[in-house]
Every structure is written in C-alpha cells, then in structure tokens.
Amino acid sequence: MSSAPVADIALIGLAVMGQNLILNMNDHGFVVCAYNRTKDKIKSFLENEAKGTKVVGANSLEDMVSKLKSPRRVMLLIKAGDAVDEFIKLLVPLLSPGDIIIDGGNSAYQDSERRARDLEKKEILFVGSGVSGGEDGARYGPSLMPGGNLKAWPHIKPIFQSICAKSNGEPCCDWVGEYGAGHFVKMVHNGIEYGDMQIICEVYHLMRNGLKLSQDEMSAVFDDWNKGELDSFLIEITRDILKYKDEKGYLLERIRDTAGQKGTGKWTAIAALDYGMPVTLIGESVFSRYLSTLKSERELASTILTGPDETFKGDKKQFLSHLRKALYAAKIISYAQGFMLLRETAKLYKWNLNYGSIALMWRGGCIIRSAFLGNIKAAFDKNPKLSNLLLDDFFAKAMKECHQSARVVVSTAVTLGIPTPALSTALAFYDGYRTARLPANLLQAQRDYFGAHTYELLGQEGKFVHTNWTGHGGKVSASTYEA
C-alpha cells in the first residue's frame, strides 16, 4: 500500500554490500527504503540487521517509488549487465523528470555511457558510481566514484559525501565526470588493484622460495614496510594473512595457488589495448592469474622442465632492502600507467576528469588506499596537465632512488628462476619510457619491407613514405591491412 514520501533514497539489492550501505546511510541520518525482488529478503533484513533503524521496506517498485521524496533517488546494487537494464526499464515509467537512478555495481563503463545518454533523453538523471572497499567499506565508509549526469550531483552529494570514507577529514568521494566516467575510474582502480596484488605476491614468492623466510619472518617484514612509504591496505592485510593460524597451523600454505577474477582487470587491459596505452603491469597481472589456473599443467611441467636452484645465497638483509625499493618503484609505475589510461580515455570521450580529486577518492575506504596517493594529488594540483606521474619531481626522485634496487631484484629473480612478470615489466616500462630513441625505427622498416606500410623520416614527421627495399617491389603503399 502506498504511503506519504518518507525516504531520502531507495536501494535495490539486499546482498551483503547492499545491506551494509543501507545501514551506513541510516547511521548518517538518512531514511532508506529497501527493496529486493525476493520479498523474504526484505522481511528478514528489516527484522534482523535493520531492526531498530529508520529503514523502511517496500512490497513493490510502485510502493518503493511512492515512499521517496522528490527528486526520487534510486540506487541499484545488483549484478552488472542485463539485470541493470531490466530494472531501469521497470523504473522509468514510475519516475518523473529530474529523478535519479544510480548504478553502484561493477558495470562496464560503456554500459554506463549508454545508459546515461539514453536516460538523458527521457529526462531521468543517471549516475554510474564506483563503490570500493568491500563489505567493511560499504558499512563504515567506502570510496565512492560517481559519474554520469552532472545535474544529479547536488542531489546525491550530501548522502555520498556523508557515508564515504574520510582522509584527513576530507571525503573520499567527489564528482568524477560525465556519462561513463565513474565506472571507468572504478575499472582503472580495480586494474591498479590487480597490479598491486601481483607485485606483492611476487615479492612474497621471492621471500618464501628464494630467501626461505618463515611466515612469521615475512609478516614482520611487511609490518615494518607498512610503517614507511609502502603504508597501504594491501601491505597491511598481507602482513595479517602471513601470520594467520588456525587449529591446523598457517592457513596460507594450504590455499590452492589458482587465482580467480571478476573481469575488471581484464577490462582495464582491453581498454589499454583499445586506446593504445602501454598499461603493461596490469596486463601482466591479468595474465599471471590466467597462468595460475593452469595448475595441473604446471605440476606436470615441474617434473619435466629444468631450472636453476631457487635458493638465494647473498646478504638477505640487503636484498630485503632492495626488495622494498623494487616494490615501491613498481607501485609507482602501476599508478603512472593507470593515470595515463585515464587521461587518454578522457580525451577520447571528452570527460573532464579531476585527477587530483580521483587520487584523493582513493586515499581512504578502498582496496588500493595508500600513503602516496597524497603525493599523486599534490602532483596534479601543481600541474593539472601533467602527462605522466613519472615526470613529477616527487616521483622522478623516488624512481631515481629505487630503480637500481629494482634491477638487482629482477636480475636476481631471473638467476634464481623465480617468475616476476609484473616487477620485470615495471622496470622494462620505466626504461622504455626514459629512452629517447627506441628500436621502433627498425620495426617500421620491417613493416614497410614486407607490407609497404610506410614510415616517417626524422625531421619530416607527418610525411609517410615507402621504399622499394628489394628493387623488384612496387612503389604503391599498402592500405588494405595492418600488421
């Protein structure tokens, strides 16, 4: 039965994330209307987790809409894809011009771009918002990355900036940009998360298999690192995971070494390929997860293929110092590549992204929160048109102090036969980016030799020419295929 409008916002989707976000909003004084297709879930939530709160339930979408104050704000926290489109289709006839639909799931940015433009024609304001921080973040303060129709921001800002995490008193939420920008920023965030996790895993592998450190010893190292420039959520939880024991002993050693994924790292790598950005570290992180799934093949290969002795025979304390710096350098490269991709995509889609604000959004509440995000914000505050973080004084100095250690670590890993794909590609990118003349001149000559694809001469940029390399080839350049 319909009733007078009482709710500030409705939230559809009562899985753990949805429930925790509702309780977070309630804690900050907002009245939330909870809805789920499965009615028993609504009843159970109201009688248990939401008992004693101001949360109200709805028996139908019509009932839910009737309980919302104007402009109506409806947030979806459901599985990405067709389900979101289905709910939007059901909601639109019930809403009025100026009402707001917020998708807080892990949607593809292209879908958010399409939905924002389609709903704009119907005078419905769409917001695609990244939500990071997991279950705990949703309950006590996530990082929120809203983008879409700018007209919606004044109406959702009080709620979003109240419930989000705070860093030095500042909200880890700000308007990201137009149409699909919010979900694109969240996707890149997740890609950087893939990279961060992979480089930490490679460092763990070197400590475990190379240095032969015990789990308590490794935990102590990560605890020490977490007090310096590597201070971050992922270093912190790695410390805790390494020392965690149950009745059977250390749990980590009993976990199968095959990694899962939900696809956002892959989406970031695909976007990098689509838009021509060398986001190599995230790409290697995705491929490393794929390699991990070849468990039976790897076990067979380990009995057939030979390699060197993995045991490190040098100064362990000194190598741990190199390892810390190599990890820091790779982390800088990971973020530099992520922001390169953000900048290039913003140009293509004509999004007005505030890179300093994005860094601030990631300083608290999210998985990749870390101390040096403040330095990223400072870099973009100093130079909003900064093309690459590596060109900022702070990060250039950091790389100057760390790159030699990265070389020691990568070369040692190769000598020991311990794979470090992400740490290696970070160093390779750094060396490639700082090289004024790469061997791509030979590559262009090869392309022109076998395919007449043309090339540019130094000092004659923009003029494409073809050479008859063999003397019996033609003078016509290719236009039908690329290689």
Per-residue pLDDT tens digits for 187-224: 999 999 999 999 999 999 999 999 999 999 999 999 99
Q: Is 18 annotated as a binding residue?
A: yes
Q: Which CATH class is domain 439-482?
A: mainly alpha
N-terminal to C-terminal alpha carbon distance within the chain: 64
Q: Is 289 annotated as a binding residue?
A: yes
As a whole number of angstroms, the distance between CA 355 and CA 467 comes to 44
Per-residue pLDDT tens digits for 408-428: 999 999 999 999 999 999 999
As a whole number of angstroms, the distance between CA 95 and CA 102 comes to 13
Q: Is 459 annotated as a binding residue?
A: no
* pLDDT of res. 169: 87
9-175 maps to which CATH number?
Answer: 3.40.50.720
* pLDDT of res. 479: 59
* pLDDT of res. 42: 96
Q: Is 28 annotated as a binding residue?
A: no
Instruction: Look at strands 245-246 and 249-250 and give their pairing.
Output: antiparallel
Q: Is 447 annotated as a binding residue?
A: yes
pTM: 0.89
CA max distance for the chain: 87
Residues of the chain below pLDDT 70: 1-3, 262, 473-474, 477-483
* pLDDT of res. 478: 65
CATH 3.30.300.20 is the classification of domain 187-434? no
Q: Is 79 annotated as a binding residue?
A: yes
Residues annotated as catalytic (active site), given as ranges: 186, 193
What are the residue boundaries of the structural domains of the chain, listed by start? 9-175, 187-434, 439-482
Per-residue pLDDT tens digits for 236-268: 999 999 999 999 999 999 999 998 776 778 899
* pLDDT of res. 3: 57
